[in-house]
């Protein structure tokens, strides 16, 4: 089964059979369900939806299917063409649109694509809204417009430049310091739309950009998830070119990872830590990340006199808690920066501008900056269980076992110890418990994960 229907949208592999993969029929069905949901929100004469895509090989085909399905529902489409997830998020409210769709499977390999769905604020749908769209998709009551009331498609390719303009307008972006620093930066955009937008942003900031894998043709030269083991070309080029740092983004440009001048990974968990450090130094306040993100953000936040909160995993959950706690910056440990000064969505452009401002003002190397932050190490393991085993019961038993520690149970069970933590979450699709740990060393993080696995096996009689 390679078609995944969830509250945040639909994703799957291209080709294959209807209902098991992301076929043209499936793309039309879910685009129609989303369009009908849009029309149910408000009774009005004109509806508008912004649509953009990353550079995947299947992107143009899926976009044409999606846009013309919306046209068939009488919805006008603003076609951004090649774009990024944060660019579409910025465009929706600027266009006074009723919603937006980004066609991207994020960090998944090239055979995947997806429909990511936005509301009128340019933010991802909440659980209830996503569930309603899934319900509509499975119904037989879709009603399309007659020939005199079809929608129209309007192409607007200006939004990448507009997005960059908005980033550069942010008060904390120190354009002069960045330009004066004379940075040389290597960019790996995995041959997707980051190859368009990140070099343009750097050019506007007066930064010399050396591009590798920046041709937006969808032919990913390596696994598109921006992890250390996938960024060997970036590491080698940074060292060869004597660059100040390297930048890697995923195909839809909402995840951001840095590499220091020695070709060593800055750490995807530390993208948010560094950007938050800069923002909090100028505008003290609260922060939010998800429960599986590094404790270093909490340390940095408290250093600046703020309060840190952890949300359930998922961008929509981070945003909800950020609004509730009036957080001035937040995000996820996968390199996702959410800075409400511009919009409530993960945005690599925002992250690049804030990080370079920090580096320019500190007047230190990227590796020296990394050394100023608490050093934590993360472990990620999983335990496979048989389908008949009660996963919820196991989690409850672990909760009871560690009832004297600090516990959080909004998303599985997270146990906070004095200098480490473990987060247990069940998979929504398999009898698996995912086990995330963090500790002052990799050895301690891995040992904590192994200890928890042993205890789970004892409880489950495995």
Flag whether pLDDT at 442 surpasses 80.
Answer: yes
Could you tell me the residue ranges of all domains in the chain?
3-157, 162-370, 377-460
**CA dist 438 → 130, 298, 416, 442 (Å):** 32, 13, 10, 8
Q: 3-157 and 377-460: same fold?
A: no
pLDDT (tens digit, 9 = 90+) per residue, 107-117? Answer: 889 999 999 99
- For residue 249, the model assigns a pLDDT of 97
The secondary structure of residue 418, as a DSSP letter, is: S
Flag whether pLDDT at 323 surpasses 70.
Answer: yes
The strands making up 256-259's β-sheet, listed across from edge to edge, are 208-212, 184-188, 245-249, 256-259
Flag whether pLDDT at 65 surpasses 50.
Answer: yes
Q: How many CA atoms lie within 13 A of 349 on its CB side?
A: 37
Mean pLDDT of the chain: 94
Closest CA to 247 of 182, 189, 177: 189
- For residue 428, the model assigns a pLDDT of 65
Flag whether pLDDT at 125 surpasses 60.
Answer: yes
- For residue 294, the model assigns a pLDDT of 95
Flag whether pLDDT at 387 surpasses 90.
Answer: no
- For residue 460, the model assigns a pLDDT of 84
Q: How far apart are CA 247 and CA 314, in angstroms?
A: 24
Flag whether pLDDT at 302 surpasses 80.
Answer: yes
If one compares 462 and 334, the residue with the highest pLDDT of the two is: 334
335: left (phi over 0), alpha (psi -120 to 50) or beta: left
Among 2-6, 10-14, 31-35, 168-172, name the one with the lowest average pLDDT.
2-6
Show the tokens assigned to 362.
Answer: 């500190």
Neighbours of 18 (CB within 10 A): 12
Work out the percent of the chain whose per-residue pLDDT is above 70. 98
Q: How far apart are CA 20 and CA 187, in angstroms?
A: 36
Q: How far apart are CA 12 and CA 4, in angstroms?
A: 6
User: What φ, ψ does residue 217 adopt, rounded to 5°?
Assistant: -115, 0
CATH code of the region 162-370: 3.40.120.10
Across 300-315, average pLDDT: 95
User: What φ, ψ does residue 364 adopt, rounded to 5°?
Assistant: -135, 165
- For residue 8, the model assigns a pLDDT of 64
Cβ contact 327:288 at 8 Å:
yes
Flag whether pLDDT at 1 surpasses 80.
Answer: no
- For residue 461, the model assigns a pLDDT of 80
Q: Quick one: which H or E segment has residue 310?
A: strand 308-311
Residues 6+ apart with CB under 8 A from 102: 51, 52, 53, 54, 83, 85, 88, 115, 116, 118, 252
pLDDT (tens digit, 9 = 90+) per residue, 328-340? Answer: 999 999 899 999 9
CATH code of the region 3-157: 3.40.120.10
Across 82-92, average pLDDT: 98
Three-state DSSP state, 269: helix
| Assigned CATH topology for domain 377-460 | TATA-Binding Protein (3.30.310)
- For residue 82, the model assigns a pLDDT of 98
Flag whether pLDDT at 104 surpasses 80.
Answer: yes
pLDDT (tens digit, 9 = 90+) per residue, 231-281? Answer: 999 999 999 999 999 999 999 999 999 999 999 999 999 999 999 999 999
- For residue 19, the model assigns a pLDDT of 87
User: What φ, ψ does residue 169 adopt, rounded to 5°?
Assistant: -80, -15
């Amino acid at each position: 089964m390679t078609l995944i229907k969830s509250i945040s949208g639909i994703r799957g592999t291209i080709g294959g059979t209807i209902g098991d993969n992301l076929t043209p029929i499936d793309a039309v069905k879910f685009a129609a369900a989303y369009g009908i949901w849009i029309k149910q929100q408000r009774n009005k004469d004109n509806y508008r939806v912004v649509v953009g895509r990353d550079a995947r090989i299947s992107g143009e085909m899926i976009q044409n299917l999606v846009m013309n399905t919306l046209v068939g529902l009488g919805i006008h489409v603003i076609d951004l063409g090649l774009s990024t997830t944060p660019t579409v998020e910025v465009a929706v409210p600027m266009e006074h649109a009723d919603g937006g769709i980004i066609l991207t499977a994020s960090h998944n390999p090239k055979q995947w694509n997806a429909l990511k769905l936005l509301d009128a604020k340019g933010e991802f749908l909440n659980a209830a809204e996503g569930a309603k769209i899934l319900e509509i998709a499975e119904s037989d009551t879709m009603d399309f417009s007659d020939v005199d009331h079809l929608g129209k498609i309007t192409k607007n390719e200006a939004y990448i430049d507009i997005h960059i303009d908005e980033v550069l307008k942010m008060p904390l972006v120190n354009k002069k310091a960045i330009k004066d620093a004379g940075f040389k930066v290597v960019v790996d955009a995995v041959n997707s739309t980051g190859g368009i937008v990140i070099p343009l942003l750097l050019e506007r900031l007066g930064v010399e950009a050396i591009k590798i894998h920046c041709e937006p043709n969808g032919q990913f030269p390596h696994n598109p998830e921006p992890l250390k083991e996938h960024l060997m070309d970036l590491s080698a080029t940074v060292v060869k070119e004597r660059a100040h740092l390297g930048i890697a983004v995923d195909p839809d440009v909402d995840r951001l990872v840095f590499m220091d001048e020695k070709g060593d990974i800055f750490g995807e968990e530390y993208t948010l830590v560094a950007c938050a450090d800069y923002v909090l130094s100028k505008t003290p306040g609260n922060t939010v990340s998800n429960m599986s993100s590094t404790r270093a953000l909490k340390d940095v936040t408290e250093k600046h006199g703020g309060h840190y909160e952890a949300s359930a995993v998922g961008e929509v959950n981070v945003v909800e808690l950020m609004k509730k706690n009036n957080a001035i910056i937040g995000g996820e440990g996968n390199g996702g920066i959410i800075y409400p000064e511009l919009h409530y969505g993960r945005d690599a452009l925002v992250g690049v501008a804030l990080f370079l401002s920090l580096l320019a003002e500190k007047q230190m190397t990227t590796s020296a900056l990394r050394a100023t932050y608490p050093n934590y190490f993360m472990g990620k393991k999983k335990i496979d269980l048989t389908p008949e085993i009660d996963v919820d019961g196991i989690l409850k038993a672990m909760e009871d076992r560690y009832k004297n520690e600090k516990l959080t149970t909004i998303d599985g069970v997270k146990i906070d110890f004095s200098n480490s933590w473990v987060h247990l979450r069940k998979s929504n699709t398999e009898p698996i418990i995912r086990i995330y740990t963090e500790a002052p060393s990799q050895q301690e993080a891995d040992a904590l994960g192994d200890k928890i696995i042993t205890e789970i096996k004892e409880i489950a009689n495995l």
